[in-house]
Amino acid sequence: MSERTTKPPEEEEAESDADADTTPTPVTSGATSTVRALENAGIEVMFGVQGGAIMPVYDALWDSDLRHVMMAHEQGAAHAADAYNVVSGKPGVCLATSGPGATNLVTGLADANMDSDAVVALTGQVPQHMVGSDAFQETDTTGITAPITKNNYFASDPDTVGDTVGEAVALARSGRPGPTLVDLPKDVTNAETDREPGMAQTPETYTPQDEADPESVETVADAVEAAEKPLLLFGGGVVKANAADVAREFAMEYELPVVTTMPGIGTMPEDHDLCLSWAGMHGTGYANMAINHTDLLIAVGTRFDDRLTGGIETFAPSAEVAHIDIDPAEISKNIHADYPLIGDAGRVLEQLDDALTGAPDVDDWREQCQTWKEQYPMDYAAPDDEPLKPQFVVEALDEATSDEAVVTSGVGQHQMWASQYWTFREPRKWISSHGLGTMGYGLPAAIGARLAADDDEEVVCVDGDGSFLMTVEELSVAVRENLDITIAILNNEYIGMVRQWQDAFFEGRHMAAGYSWIPEFDKLAEAFGARGWRVDDYDEVADAVEEALNYDGPSVIDFHIDPEENVYPMVPSGGANDKFALSEDQL
């Protein structure tokens, strides 16, 4: 047996406590300036993987109080940083070396870019005199990541590298958040400098608008007062803007029905009468009916993704659209905005609240929404002669955890069941890969979430067997760091969503969708040093969930579910939202 090379957590803690009393070590190099810039920007945690070109920065971390979580793979580092950001609202930072380290971050950065998450990536680079020579582990990192970052930087000067890192952090978290990257050539991080970086600030030319034009707000207020079927649509932007409180108060004050997007889950408590839950391809029937029958859609912080809209031609076809967003480029990108309001979600909703003189009389419309709720209940069938249903597992987990629990997921059927059958009451609790749809997001996201969440908030990863296998190596990190997370695998031995589409659209030809052999995940968990359970039957669910949640460390429950179970409702790709199918024969 090999000897452990890292110190036990207690000793580490004692050491960092001792460090906290000392004054910050002076800036002596580009690398120490980089670390100082992160400290100045309030960064506390980072996720990364070592490697040649980034070693000077890692060496500078030796003398810093920054907590570094050593991940198994750079993709895991990016996802962990991403989830850390979504849960805490603070920027998530990830580190990687040049070449493969940087390219391994790409999926995570693209994911953060699609979901507007504040992630800062620091990548090592070969020394500048070797750039362009196809040196060992050289890759064009800024070129590769330009389309998937909000902005990126090639730091060429040791005296200003700290300022650049500070700017990258400030830019990532301001306006519409997004990932930024600083590429750090080794000669720059190694070079001597004693220049202290300034405070993190955004570039002068970056000036996101906070308040909407007051006249436009008045016009929208008039439209709201005149509307017969107004509907609020809360997107992920409401979460980013920390505007969930303002948004839900607005909805409750004017008694307007609310649907959310998937990233907007939790902005409105899902068990509130006015909340119709989330709309889109696998959203609730009632949310999709409301979307397509509203006459005034008040959309806040959403980019009208195709998984939300279905076919553009039939999306909210009789509605005027008021679109509140901080990013002007989202206005009329996919859905024409009759009333564009550019600004911070919370601030603009306050402006609108001030401009409104009263609530519109929409009793009939509210009643209609309630009727749809009754007509299209999210009630799955669980006959005795069929295997364990995944929806039951999700409900059992929700039941056994507090309202503060944080849920991460991979991508696929399990993601849909988790988001459909878990009742979310707060934002920053549903952590998933929405825009990019990255299988494998769930486990590294749970690690990031665990570092961000309070100790009394459970972190549960609802994963699929396919997704789990994509980033399973990160389980070693959860064990090493002794992170209390519960991973519930909804195991159908399929890339389930693909199998569902093959049944619906490819005549049941299950090409590369099924696993003829799949690891025993409970034993795999034990091999990693985590705890593992296998569950096949309904009567085993509650005990396994309780034991796993009670275990203080990473645990894995391998739920063998009905492999034939499908996700409904379903709006076929490009279809009309109100024509969602409730079963396969309706597709």
Partner 1 sequence: MSGGLDGPEPEERATPEGRRNSQGIRIDPEVEAEPEPQRAVLSALVKHEPGVLANVSGLFRRRQFNIESLTVGPTTDPDRARITLEIKEPEPGIEQAKKQLEKLVPVISVTELESNAIRRELALIKVDGSDPDQVGAVAEMYDGKTVDVSQQSVTVEITGSEQKIDAAVETFGRFGIHEIVRTGTAALERGTRKTT
Which of 578, 587, 575 lies closest to 318, judged by CA? 578
Contact partners, residue 380, CB within 8 Å, separation at least 6? 389, 391, 392, 421
CB of 211 to partner 1, least distance (A): 19
CB of 479 to partner 1, least distance (A): 35
CB of 176 to partner 1, least distance (A): 9
Site string for partner 1, 263-302 (x = CB under 8 A): ----------------------x---x--xx---------
Q: How many residues bind partner 1 (CB under 8 A)?
A: 59
Q: Which residues pair with 534 in a beta bridge?
A: 558
Q: Say if residues 300 and 251 touch (Cβ distance below 8 Å).
A: no
CB of 338 to partner 1, least distance (A): 8
Site string for partner 1, 192-221 (x = CB under 8 A): -----------x-xx---------------
Among 18, 20, 381, 511, binds partner 1 (CB under 8 A): 381
Strand ordering across the sheet containing 92-96: 67-70, 45-48, 92-96, 119-125, 180-185, 151-154
Contact partners, residue 145, CB within 8 Å, separation at least 6? 102, 105, 106, 109, 121, 152, 181
In terms of CB distance, is 335 or 475 closer to partner 1?
A: 335
In terms of CB distance, is 479 or 576 closer to partner 1?
A: 576
Alpha helices in 481-520 (DSSP H): 496-505
Residues designated as active site: 74, 136-137, 186, 497
String of DSSP letters for 142-207: HHHHGGGSSEEEE---TTTHHHHHHHHHHHHHSSS---EEEEEEHHHHHSB--PPP------TT--
Residue 480 binds partner 1 (CB under 8 A): no
- From 58-66, 108-116, 327-335, 516-524, give the range in contact with partner 1 by CB under 8 A: 327-335
Q: Which helix (H) or strand (E) holds 521?
A: helix 521-528
> Residue written as tokens 């009789």?
318
Q: Segment 132-161, which members bind partner 1 (CB under 8 A)?
A: 142-143, 146-147, 150-151, 154
> Residue written as tokens 């589409």?
501
Site string for partner 1, 536-575 (x = CB under 8 A): --------------------------x-xxxxxx------
Instruction: Enter the tokens of residue 349.
Output: 């909703």
Among 28, 318, 482, 573, binds partner 1 (CB under 8 A): 318
Peptide bond into 427 cis (omega under 30): no
CB of 396 to partner 1, least distance (A): 18
Among 386, 399, 404, 546, binds partner 1 (CB under 8 A): 386
In terms of CB distance, is 315 or 533 closer to partner 1?
A: 315
- Cα separation, 218 vs 229, in Å, equals 19
Tally of CB atoms within 10 A around 426: 16
CB of 294 to partner 1, least distance (A): 9
Binding site for partner 1 (CB under 8 A): 142-143, 146-147, 150-151, 154, 171, 203, 205-206, 285, 289, 292-293, 304, 312-315, 317-320, 327-329, 331-336, 338, 375-381, 386, 503, 562, 564-569, 576, 578-584, 586
